């Protein structure tokens, strides 16, 4: 730790931490970041740049870092592209710079930098075109290998993530002086306040400065304020939390890193990161400002860093940037950095100020300390490869060029300050418009479109006193708007800090050769290697919109989203186009402010919790029976019940035979159930179903088809009339929620005059379908009070009574063709009913059957499944179900559509049966049907919708939709192409009991 000062800083010197970077061992202290520990050890080279693999070091000390990107850790917990400036040090940390092989120190891909003249912005659009076949085999794979920064882990993430949803009156973003003042003011007024900051401690810029607030060191004042905030009951402070997204209606999202700073010491069972979704009454953006680099020749060598970053490394971490620094600036404020370094015992070789006659208040003191002051000058070149070794300073001619006078100054660090850009990212995300201030060359928040105000440096108020006063005023105002206090801010504490001073915006320092000539690079975007020459090239090639330039050169498209690059790039573009900065405009800031892990965004919504699993009341029984489950929507339904060594085919055949010959039970609880009540319930049903329900008697059940307004079938099911104004509708399992939404949409938008309530009762009633010739015998044993004969309990009717000791609704409906009762009991009694049926049915050979057997049984009987026999292009007529379409009702959904020309086409696809000539061949569902064998393209006439080996018929059967199929019965067609053009015949779509003789048992 050669460059660590003997004393000072805000690190814990009692805790030494060991870490490894780029294969070398280092030591640091608790309170260090990876970047500060490296700088304290004299290491600036961290990684390699994206395109030219130029050596890159640490440019900043915070979230805006574009270049010091590292791959943290190894194995399943490795993480790519982290900013070294934000990685908190822990013992045993290992990291390596990205995009370098074998290492940042010796990178074999550095040849790309030597060929840089061939690789200007957008070079890849102009080449790799010949020969065409080389793109896929050679050029693109090579480009992909060169691209990318870090590596994704190779194993699943062992850590967990979670989410919080929260409301507050006032959300303060940023825990610097302005944010702390705002939170104190709003909190003291009694409002519910959240203060969010992305650093480990509150204080913001104060932590890196020697300014004093209220008579004490600024950082100490911030700590005391944090204590006061913690004592307020309604105030919540989140540190290590980045507010990254500002959405509509004051919805904001933040990303908290809960255990990352602990490394392997993270407590087990604690979520690693947390996503906060915040609804805020008022928002105070106190997001501070980012120092802007100056653009000069070879301004990207390791050892060149922002002046404010060097100041922070010095004051917070007690680390000097090197043996001898040179400051390059266009503003007074940066002189303070040189002053701090000299005060701390470091050496500043020179201050280079591009302004001809600067009047920085600290200049005399620096001169006195022996610091050379070069005014009206710029750094025209830097020297050294993996670390800056010297700079060439040249006098400016006042006309954008050099006057000829040059000096070589030896140094191992260059501190750069081009002024400050307010961090308006979140303001811009909130859909607020930015304004441009010419004098300081900065974008400021303009008109807000949401309930927010901007305080402090983010609002262009760079002085400490102004930050504190503005924060307090806005905080008090926000609290008042939320109904707390009278808007009077508490008095601002006195400060001891210099004022920001004068600045002259300066965008591009000339090099020793004209821009773009020679090897020197004026780097604008340090991450993506975008130079000032690239931006001029883009303008030259006709890319005049700032968005075009961004996309063509990739300026600002890196992981830092151009926090240090965008404004410089924009000004250089404006100059190239001969326009002003506001005329060129600004790109839109897009969320997130800094990158957010997929894991945090996913939270707990992965694995079993990705989508809730819905289970029926009988699920545990099914599981114990070794059932194979089928996912249907969110439900897990029994697919089939293997016995001993049954395969699927054998199990399904056994289940089908049981239903046809004895009795079977199916867990039908998942079918959607909607309770419909109200004086207009009948009217609603008459409108949404194709057939009439006004003619249905109480106690009777009717099957209905539901069509969209396009006339296409979208759901079916039975509806029972339980009372004059009371119905129970059933829907398909997968469509239940959609049907309820459909009913509500019509009720709420088109027919608000109808008095009807629709309530989902799917999970209030457990349902068991009891089917087979012995069904009546089984039920009789459990419902001795209930008359079950076909006369007293006819097909398509409902009875209420006691079954297995439980109040039940029993429906005589059938989806298998056999005598069948669907017994509904309150959900919690489902298992009891199931057990009772199994017991009572034992002597009748009762057999549980799953969805696969159900599908086979209904297909044998020719019953459709919506979503299988239909695909959103199928009308009731196509299904041969004209009988269910009312000719009397004046209007209902779908009716009008059937008058359209296309609905009357003769060659519409119609539901038919298909029998393969070879009865053993079972066609895959989805197989296409054609008239002739041949080579593609071949016109298709239809497709197989359902297909099974039928145990009842002892052969394969299929249903299909075939063009004009009803008129083609008996004809031979072919199933193609995967099955190899199997011949088959078109038949009736009913294979079993077409008279319906079995339904009464």
Partner 1 sequence: MKKFSIFSLARNALSHHEHWPEQWRSPAPKPAYDVVIIGAGGHGLATAYYLAALHGITNVAVLEKGWLGGGNTGRNTTVIRSNYLWDESAALYEHSLKLWEGLAQELNYNLMFSQRGVLNLIHNVHDLQEATRRVNANRLNAVDAELLSTEEVKAFCPILNTSPKTRYPIMGGTLQRRGGNARHDAVAWGYARAADARGVDIIQNCEVTGIDVEAGRVTGVQTTQGTIAAKKVGIVVAGHSSVLAAMAGFRLPIESHPLQALVSEPLKPVLHCVIMSNGVHVYVSQSDKGELVIGAGLDPPNSYSQRGGLHTIEDQMGAIVELIPIFSRVRMMRSWAGIVDVCPDASPIIGKTPVEGLFINGGWGTGGFKATPGSGWVLAHTIATGEPHPLNAPFALDRFTSGALIDEHAAAAVAH
State in angstroms the smallest separation of the CB of 927 from partner 1: 6
Looking at the Cβ atoms of 172 and 930, the one nearer to partner 1 is 930
Angle between helices 851-861 and 648-661 (to 10 degrees): 60
Q: Whole-angstrom Cα distance, residue 911 to residue 960?
A: 6
Compute the half-sphere exposure of residue 510: CA atoms within 13 Å on the CB side of its CA: 17
Q: Whole-angstrom Cα distance, residue 390 to residue 417?
A: 18
Looking at the Cβ atoms of 129 and 967, the one nearer to partner 1 is 129
Q: Whole-angstrom Cα distance, residue 686 to residue 683?
A: 5
State in angstroms the smallest separation of the CB of 998 from partner 1: 27
Looking at the Cβ atoms of 220 and 602, the one nearer to partner 1 is 602
Listed residue (512, 807, 778, 518) closest to 664, CA to CA: 778
DSSP letter, residue 78: -
State in angstroms the smallest separation of the CB of 255 from partner 1: 9
Looking at the Cβ atoms of 709 and 789, the one nearer to partner 1 is 709
Tokens of 964: 């004009």
State in angstroms the smallest separation of the CB of 978 from partner 1: 6
Listed residue (753, 754, 773) closest to 681, CA to CA: 754
Looking at the Cβ atoms of 11 and 958, the one nearer to partner 1 is 958
Tokens of 138: 């050679």
Phi-psi region of 181 (alpha: psi -120 to 50; beta: other; left: phi over 0): alpha
Looking at the Cβ atoms of 177 and 603, the one nearer to partner 1 is 603
State in angstroms the smallest separation of the CB of 542 from partner 1: 4
Name every residue whose Cβ is closer than 8 Å to that of residue 782 and which is 6 or more positions away in sequence: 803, 804, 836, 837, 840
| Per-residue buried b or exposed e for 210-240, using 16+ beta carbons within 10 Å of the residue's own CB | bbbbeeebbbbbbbebbeebeebebbbbbbb
Q: Whole-angstrom Cα distance, residue 349 to residue 70?
A: 31
- How many residues in total does the chain contain? 1001
Q: Whole-angstrom Cα distance, residue 255 to residue 241?
A: 5
State in angstroms the smallest separation of the CB of 251 from partner 1: 7
Listed residue (656, 857, 660) closest to 775, CA to CA: 660
State in angstroms the smallest separation of the CB of 81 from partner 1: 5
Looking at the Cβ atoms of 153 and 880, the one nearer to partner 1 is 153
Q: Whole-angstrom Cα distance, residue 25 to residue 263?
A: 17
State in angstroms the smallest separation of the CB of 149 from partner 1: 5
State in angstroms the smallest separation of the CB of 161 from partner 1: 8
Cross-strand bridge partners of residue 322: none
Looking at the Cβ atoms of 589 and 992, the one nearer to partner 1 is 589
CB 161 within 8 A of CB 271: yes
Looking at the Cβ atoms of 349 and 711, the one nearer to partner 1 is 711
Q: Whole-angstrom Cα distance, residue 806 to residue 829?
A: 7
State in angstroms the smallest separation of the CB of 852 from partner 1: 9
Looking at the Cβ atoms of 127 and 807, the one nearer to partner 1 is 127
Looking at the Cβ atoms of 343 and 741, the one nearer to partner 1 is 741
Q: Whole-angstrom Cα distance, residue 22 to residue 797?
A: 78
State in angstroms the smallest separation of the CB of 582 from partner 1: 15
Element (H, E) at 242: strand 241-246
Looking at the Cβ atoms of 67 and 253, the one nearer to partner 1 is 253
End-to-end CA distance of the chain: 91
Compute the half-sphere exposure of residue 808: CA atoms within 13 Å on the CB side of its CA: 27
Q: Whole-angstrom Cα distance, residue 187 to residue 941?
A: 72
State in angstroms the smallest separation of the CB of 926 from partner 1: 3
Looking at the Cβ atoms of 867 and 1001, the one nearer to partner 1 is 867
- Token pair 């065409």: residue: 132
Q: Whole-angstrom Cα distance, residue 818 to residue 480?
A: 72
Looking at the Cβ atoms of 50 and 52, the one nearer to partner 1 is 50
Looking at the Cβ atoms of 120 and 773, the one nearer to partner 1 is 120
Looking at the Cβ atoms of 16 and 932, the one nearer to partner 1 is 932
State in angstroms the smallest separation of the CB of 57 from partner 1: 20
Listed residue (631, 661, 612) closest to 850, CA to CA: 631
Tokens of 522: 């004026």
Looking at the Cβ atoms of 711 and 862, the one nearer to partner 1 is 711
Phi, psi for 637 (deg, rounded to 5): -110, 145
CB atoms within 10 A of CB 74: 12
State in angstroms the smallest separation of the CB of 346 from partner 1: 35
Q: Whole-angstrom Cα distance, residue 515 to residue 526?
A: 17
Element (H, E) at 464: helix 464-481
| Per-residue buried b or exposed e for 39-71, using 16+ beta carbons within 10 Å of the residue's own CB | bbbbbbbbbbbbbbbbbbbbbbbbbbbbbbbbb
State in angstroms the smallest separation of the CB of 517 from partner 1: 5
State in angstroms the smallest separation of the CB of 334 from partner 1: 31
Q: Which long-range contacts link 510-518 to residues 24+ away (Cβ below 8 Å)?
A: 510/378, 510/380, 510/394, 510/396, 510/400, 510/401, 510/402, 511/296, 511/297, 511/380, 511/381, 512/297, 512/380, 512/381, 512/392, 512/394, 512/402
DSSP letter, residue 615: -
Looking at the Cβ atoms of 491 and 939, the one nearer to partner 1 is 939
Q: Whole-angstrom Cα distance, residue 89 to residue 461?
A: 33
State in angstroms the smallest separation of the CB of 940 from partner 1: 5
State in angstroms the smallest separation of the CB of 999 from partner 1: 27
């Amino acid at each position: 730790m050669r460059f660590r000062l003997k004393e000072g800083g805000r690190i814990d010197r009692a805790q030494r931490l060991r870490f490894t970077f780029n294969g070398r061992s280092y030591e640091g202290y608790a309170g260090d970041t990876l970047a500060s520990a490296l700088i304290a050890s004299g290491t600036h080279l961290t990684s390699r740049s994206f395109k030219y693999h130029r050596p890159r070091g640490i440019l900043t000390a915070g979230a805006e870092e574009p270049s010091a990107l590292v791959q943290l850790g190894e194995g399943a917990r490795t993480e790519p592209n982290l900013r070294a400036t934000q990685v908190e040090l822990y013992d045993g940390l290992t990291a390596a710079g990205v995009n370098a092989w074998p290492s940042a120190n010796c990178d074999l891909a550095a040849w790309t930098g030597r060929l840089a003249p061939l690789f200007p912005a957008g070079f890849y659009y102009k080449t790799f075109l010949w020969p065409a076949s080389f793109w896929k085999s050679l050029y693109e794979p090579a480009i992909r290998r060169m691209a990318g920064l870090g590596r994704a882990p190779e194993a699943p993430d062992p850590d967990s993530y979670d989410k919080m949803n929260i409301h507050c009156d006032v959300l303060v973003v940023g825990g610097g002086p302005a944010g702390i003042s705002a939170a104190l003011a709003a909190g003291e007024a009694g409002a519910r306040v959240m203060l969010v900051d992305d650093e480990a401690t509150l204080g913001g810029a104060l932590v890196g400065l020697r300014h004093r607030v209220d008579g004490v060191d600024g950082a100490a004042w911030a700590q005391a304020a944090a204590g006061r905030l913690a004592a307020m009951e309604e105030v919540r402070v989140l540190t290590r939390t980045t507010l990254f997204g500002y959405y509509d209606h004051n919805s904001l999202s933040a990303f908290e890193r809960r255990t990352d700073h602990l490394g392997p010491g993270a407590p087990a069972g604690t979520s690693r990161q947390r996503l906060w979704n915040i609804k805020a009454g008022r928002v105070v953006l106190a997001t501070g400002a980012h120092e802007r680099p100056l653009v000069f020749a070879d301004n990207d060598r390791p050892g060149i860093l922002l002046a404010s970053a060097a100041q922070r490394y010095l004051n917070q971490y007690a680390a000097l940037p090197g043996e001898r620094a040179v400051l390059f600036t266009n503003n007074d404020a940066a002189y303070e950095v040189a002053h701090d370094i000299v005060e701390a015992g470091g050496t500043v070789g020179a201050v280079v100020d591009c302004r001809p006659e600067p009047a920085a208040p600290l200049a005399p003191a620096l001169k006195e300390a022996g610091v050379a002051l070069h005014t009206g000058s710029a750094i025209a070149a830097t020297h050294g490869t993996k670390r800056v070794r010297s700079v060439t300073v040249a006098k400016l001619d006042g006309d954008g060029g050099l006057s000829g006078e040059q000096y070589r100054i030896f140094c191992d660090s260059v501190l750069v300050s081009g002024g400050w850009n307010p961090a308006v990212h979140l303001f811009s995300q909130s859909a607020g418009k930015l304004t441009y201030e010419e004098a300081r060359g900065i974008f400021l928040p303009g008109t807000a479109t949401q309930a927010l105000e901007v305080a402090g440096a983010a609002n262009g108020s760079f002085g400490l006193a102004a930050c504190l006063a503005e924060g307090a005023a806005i905080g008090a105002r926000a609290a008042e708007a939320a109904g707390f206090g009278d808007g009077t801010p508490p008095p601002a504490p006195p400060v001891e800090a210099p004022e920001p001073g004068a600045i002259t915006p300066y965008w591009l320092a000339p090099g020793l050769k004209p821009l773009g000539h020679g090897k020197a690079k004026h780097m604008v975007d340090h991450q993506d290697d975008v130079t000032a020459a690239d931006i001029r090239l883009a303008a030259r090639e006709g890319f005049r919109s700032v968005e075009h330039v961004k996309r063509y050169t990739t300026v600002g498209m890196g992981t830092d989203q151009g926090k240090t690059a965008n404004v410089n790039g924009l000004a250089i573009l404006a100059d190239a186009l001969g326009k002003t900065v506001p005329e060129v405009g600004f790109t839109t800031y897009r969320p997130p402010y800094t990158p957010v892990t997929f894991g945090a965004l996913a939270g707990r919504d992965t694995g079993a919790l990705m989508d809730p699993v819905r289970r029926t009341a009988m699920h545990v029984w099914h599981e114990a029976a070794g059932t194979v489950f089928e996912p249907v929507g969110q439900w897990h339904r029994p697919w089939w019940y293997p016995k001993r060594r049954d395969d699927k085919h054998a199990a399904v055949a056994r289940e089908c035979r049981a239903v046809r010959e004895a009795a079977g039970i199916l867990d039908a609880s998942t079918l959607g159930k909607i309770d419909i009540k109200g004086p207009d319930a009948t009217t609603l049903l008459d409108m949404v179903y194709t057939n009439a329900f006004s003619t249905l008697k109480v106690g009777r059940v009717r099957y209905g088809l539901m069509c969209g307004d396009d006339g296409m079938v979208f759901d079916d099911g039975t509806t029972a009339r339980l009372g004059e104004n009371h119905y129970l509708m059933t829907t398909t399992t997968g469509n239940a929620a959609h049907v309820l939404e459909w009913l509500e949409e019509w009720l709420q938008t088109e027919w608000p005059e109808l008095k009807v309530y629709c309530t989902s009762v799917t999970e209030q009633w457990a349902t068991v379908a009891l089917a087979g010739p012995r069904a009546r015998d089984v039920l009789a044993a459990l419902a001795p009070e209930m008359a079950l004969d076909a006369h007293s309990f006819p097909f398509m009717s409902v009875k209420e009574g006691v079954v297995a000791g439980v109040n039940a609704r029993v429906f005589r409906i059938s989806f298998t063709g056999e005598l069948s009762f669907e017994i509904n009991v309150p959900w919690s009694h489902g298992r009891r009913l199931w057990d009772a049926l199994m017991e009572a049915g034992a002597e009748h050979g009762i057999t549980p059957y799953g969805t696969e057997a159900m599908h086979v049984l209904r297909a044998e009987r020719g019953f459709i499944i919506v979503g299988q026999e239909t695909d959103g292009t199928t009308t009731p007529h196509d299904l041969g179900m004209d009988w269910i379409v009312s000719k009397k009702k004046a209007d209902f959904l779908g009716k009008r559509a059937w008058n359209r020309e296309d609905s009357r086409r003769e060659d519409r696809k119609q539901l038919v049966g298909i029998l393969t000539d070879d009865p053993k061949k079972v066609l895959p569902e989805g197989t296409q049907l054609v008239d002739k064998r041949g080579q593609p393209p071949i016109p298709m006439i239809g497709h197989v919708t359902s297909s099974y080996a039928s145990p009842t018929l002892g052969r394969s059967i299929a249903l299909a939709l075939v063009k004009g199929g009803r008129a083609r019965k008996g004809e031979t067609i072919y199933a193609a192409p995967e099955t190899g053009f199997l011949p088959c015949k078109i038949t009736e779509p009913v294979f079993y009991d077409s008279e319906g003789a079995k339904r009464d048992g």
